[in-house]
């Protein structure tokens, strides 16, 4: 894995227009899908809800996830060298909640099967994407993790809707 350090200008106190509340309000106006990033180590399955998943490159096939520096799950995943992105369907709001909560058994009641990389594929997801971790970029209070895709598969039928996240709320797509 290549570790790249991001060069960001020294920290200045942000102006009031860039308060956390203002940033949340404006950045939250960008709608996204939702994923659960999973891995498997000696202790068992590990995973967390992740909004910041992006398609990066087709050749080579790369994606990125952005992980809180305080994450307890990511160091476990990192040690295995691989992770799997589960793309959530509209029927999986409870799963997004469960994997975004701390202090609970995130795997209670969860049905999953191993992917090609042996990581958990959550039943009912739209697709899974297996990745090998190839780079990490420090970015403020987060780390941008770049994964090279090693395997993919649709899971649910094509007519299932995605789970959408917009302005801190779960949404469903509606037909035109």
Ligand X SMILES: Cc1cc2nc3c(=O)[nH]c(=O)nc-3n(C[C@H](O)[C@H](O)[C@H](O)COP(=O)(O)O)c2cc1C
Contacting residues toward ligand X, per CB under 6 A: 34, 48-52, 66-68, 71-74, 96, 99-100, 102, 165
Measure the CA–CA gap between 55 and 78, rounded to whole angstroms. 19
> Three-class SS of residue 50?
strand
Could you tell me if 160 and 90 are in contact, meaning their C-beta atoms sit under 8 angstroms apart? yes
CB of 64 to ligand X, least distance (A): 11
Cis peptide before 60 (omega within 30 of 0): yes
* Residue with nearest beta carbon to ligand X: 100
CB of 134: closest distance to ligand X in angstroms? 18
21: Cβ contacts below 8 Å, ≥ 6 apart: none
Q: Which is nearer to ligand X, 96 or 149 (CB)?
A: 96
**Whose Cβ is closer to ligand X: residue 75's or residue 116's?**
75
Closest CB 89 distance from ligand X, rounded Å: 15
């Amino acid at each position: 894995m290549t570790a790249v350090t991001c060069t960001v200008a020294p920290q200045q106190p942000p102006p009031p227009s860039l308060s956390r509340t203002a940033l949340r309000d404006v950045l939250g106006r960008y709608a996204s899908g939702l994923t659960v990033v999973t891995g498997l180590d000696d202790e068992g399955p590990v995973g967390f809800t992740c909004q910041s998943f992006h398609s990066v490159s087709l050749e080579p096939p790369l994606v990125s996830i952005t992980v809180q520096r305080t994450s307890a799950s990511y160091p476990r995943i990192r040690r295995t060298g691989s992770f799997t992105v589960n793309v959530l369907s509209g029927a999986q709001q409870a799963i997004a909640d469960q994997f975004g909560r701390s202090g609970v058994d995130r795997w209670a009641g969860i049905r999953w099967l191993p992917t090609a990389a042996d990581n958990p594929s959550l039943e009912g997801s739209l697709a899974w994407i297996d990745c090998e971790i190839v780079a990490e970029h420090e970015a403020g209070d987060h780390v941008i993790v770049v994964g090279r895709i090693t395997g993919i598969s649709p899971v649910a039928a094509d007519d299932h809707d995605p789970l959408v996240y917009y302005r801190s709320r779960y949404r469903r797509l509606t037909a035109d």
